[in-house]
Structure 1
Amino acid sequence: MTFLSPWFLLLLIPLAGLTVAAVLLRRRRDRFAVRFASLPLLDQVVPERPGWRRHLTSGLGLLSLSFLVLAAARPEADIRVPREQATVMIAVDQSISMRATDVDPSRLEAAIAAGSSFVDELPEAFRVGLVGFAGDAQVLAAPTNDRQAVKDALSRLSLEPMTAIGEGVFTSLDQVRATEELQVPARIVLLSDGTNTTGRSPEEAASAASAAGVPVSTIAYGTPDGVIENGNGPGIRVPVDAAALAALAEATGGTAYEAESSDELREVYEDIGSSIGWISEPRELAPYFAAAAFLCTLIAAALSLRWFARLV
C-alpha cells in the first residue's frame, strides 16, 4: 500500500503524543485517588467504577482519529478486478505424437476435454478462438462469444504428421489482428508436446508476438516416457519438449506450464483462466478509511450514551 499524500501521516505524531499523555494522566490520577482515599470507603461510595468501559470508548475515539489521518493521506493499493473483455486464442498441437497414451486416454483426448472446460470457465464477455497445428496451422474457430462453436471445433481435432509450433502462433496472431478494432487485450494459450519440425521457427513467432504485445502462455503436455505404437515393431519415443515451449513463453512475456496428467492440465487451465480473467488496478482506499472512522465514532458514541448517559 502506498500513500498519495504521505505528509498527512505526520498528524499521527501528535495523536500518538495525545495517547501517551492520556495514559500517563490516568495513572497519575489513580495514584492520587489511592493515596488520599480510604479504599473500603471508596468501594462503598463508588462500588462500580467505569474501568475498561471508559478505556474502550476512548480507544475507539483515538482509532477513529487515526483512520481519518490515514484517509487524508490517500492510501492506494493494487486491487484485483475482473477484466471486462479480452480475446483468447487456443492453439492445440495435432501432431501424431499427441496419440501417446502416457496420459489417459491419450494426450489429444485429454487435451480436448480440458480445453472444453477451460472455454466454459472463461468470462462470458471474452472472445475465444481455436487454432490447430501439425504440418501447418488452421483456424478451426475464429474468435467468438459462442462457446459451443469452439467446443465443437475442439472435438473435431484429428492427428496429422509434423509439428508447426511457430505457424500455430502466427495464425493465432492473425486472428487477434482481425479483432484489433475491439481494442481489447489478447492472449495465446498454446499446448504442445514436441519440438518444432516444420514452418517458421518458434523464435520468429516469439518476436512477432512480442512486437504485437500478445503474451503466449505455453503448456508442455505429456511425460518424458511417452511412446506411440508403430504397428508390430517397437514403439516410437515421443518425450515432451518443455524447454522449447518455456523459451517461447518467456520471450513473449507469457507463462510456461508443464502437465503430465489430465488433472494437472485442468489445474494449469484454471491458473491461466484466473490470470487472464483478472487484472490489478490501483484503487484509492480513502473512502474505506473514512467509513471506518465514522463507524468507530458511531460505536463510541453509542457505548458512551449507554454506559455514561453522555456522548463524551
Structure 2
Amino acid sequence: MSFLSAHWLWLLLAVAALLAWHIVVSLRRERYAARLASASTLASVLPMRPQWWRRHVPAALLLLTLTGMVVALGRPAMSTQVPRERATIMLAIDVSNSMAATDISPNRLAAAKQGAQAFVDQLPPRINLGLVSFSGSAAVLVPPTTDREAVRSAINSLQLGPATAIGEGIYASLQAITTIGERLTDTGQTPPPAAIVLISDGETTRGRPNSQAAQAAKEAHVPVDTIAYGTPNGTLDVGGQLIPVPVNEPALRQIADQTGGSHHKATSGDELTSIYKGLGSSIGYRKEFREVTPAFVGASLGLGLAAAAFALAFGRRLP
C-alpha cells in the first residue's frame, strides 16, 4: 500500500499522544481509587466501580476512528493488475529437430505447444498476439492479432525442421511488430508497446548471429524474454545413434540481458507452463495504483458510531 498524500500521516503522532494521555489518566484514576478503597467507611458509601472494559472500549474505538480518518487523509492506494488495452507480443518458438528430444515428456516440442497454449490463455483478449516458428529459417505463422483461435491452431500445427536460427526468429518477430506499428501510425494511432517471448533449446547454427538480432531488438525498444527449454543431458535418436542435444542456456540469457528482457529456464513441461503463465501476467497486465480512501472513510465512520453507541449504552455519555 502507498499513500498519495503521505504528509497527513504525521497526524498519527497526535493520535499516539491521545493514547498516551488516556493511559496516564487511567493509571492515575486506578491509584486514586486504590487509596479510597483502603478506607472502609468510604468503601461502604461509594458506588461500585464500573468494569474496566466499559471505560476503555469506547476510548479504543474512538482512537481507531481517529486513526482511520488520518489514514484516509493520506489517500491510501493499492497496487492492482490492470489488463493492457493495446500491446503487441510475438511468440517465437524453436522447432529445430533437437526439439524432438524426449528428456521432457513426451518430447520438447509437444510440451512446448502445451505451455504456449497456457500463455495464450493468460493474455487479455485485446492484446495483439503473433506467432513465429524458426528452425534453419524463420516464418511468421500468425501476424499480430486478437484472434486467439488462429494462434492456437498455428501452435498445434508446428512441425520440426533442420538447423537453428534464433537470430532470424527475432528478426521475423521484429518485422511483424514493425508492420503493425506502421499500420497504426497510418491511422493516426501511436504504436503500442511490444515484446518478444522466445523459447529455444539450442544455439544458432544458421542465419544472422544472436548478438546482431538482439541489438536490433534493443534499438527498437523491444525486450526479448527468453526461455531455455530442455536439460543438459538431452539426447536425440538419429538412426539408432544417440546425439547429445543439451540446452544452451547462456546464449539465451545473453539475448535477454542485451535487450532488457527476462530469462527463464524450464526442465519440465510443468515448469514451462508456469513460466508462460507468469510471463502472461507480467506482459499482459500493468500495475496501477487505485485509491481506496472511501473504504477507510467508511470504516472510520462505522468505528465512530460504535464508540458513540457503546459510550451511551454503558456510560450514559459520549466518549
User: Normalised by the size of structure 1, how large is the TM-score?
Assistant: 0.89
User: Where does 1:31-110 land on structure 2 (aligned, <5 Å)?
Assistant: 31-37=31-37, 46-47=47-48, 49-76=50-77, 78-110=79-111
Residue 35 of structure 1: CA displacement?
1.7
2:194 paired residue number: 186
Asked whether 1:295 is paired with 2:309, we answer no
Measured after TM superposition, the shift of residue 285 of structure 1 is: 4.5
Offset, 1:139: 0.8
How far off is 1:301 after superposition?
Answer: 2.4
Q: String of CA shifts for 1:199-254, please: whole Å, max 9, x gaps.
A: 2222122222222222211111111111112214x222111101100111122221
1:131-175: CA deviations, max 9, x gaps? 001111101111222222111111111111111111111111222
CA offset at residue 309 of structure 1? 4.6
Whether the aligned pair in 1 keeps the contact of 2:83 and 2:284 (CA below 8 Å) is yes
1:168 aligned partner:
169
Deviation at 1:2, TM superposition (A): 4.8
1:113 aligned residue? 114
Distance in 1 of aligned mates of 2:100 and 2:45: 91
Question: 2:122·2:281 contact (CA, 8 Å) conserved in 1?
Answer: no
Q: Which amino acid is the alignment partner of residue 298 of structure 1?
A: L
Shift of 1:111: 0.9
RMSD: 2.5
Matched residue SS, 2:243: strand
Counterpart amino acid of residue 109 in structure 1: A
Percentage identity across paired residues of the two chains? 45
**Partner residue, 2:208:** 200
Shift of 1:93: 0.5
Matching residue's letter, 2:159: S
Match of 1:158 in 2: 159
Equivalent residue in structure 1 for 2:237, among 212, 226, 229: 229
Following the alignment from structure 1 to structure 2, what is the Cα–Cα distance between the partners of residues 102 and 28? Answer: 76
Aligned to 1:21: 21
Structure 1, unmatched stretches of 5+, are none
Structure 2 unaligned residues grouped into runs of 5+:
none
Structure 1 stretch 249-258 or stretch 298-307: which is displaced more? 298-307
Greater mean alpha carbon deviation, residues 111-120 or residues 274-283? 274-283
Would you identify which runs of 4 or more consecutive aligned residues in structure 1 move more than 6 Å?
Answer: none
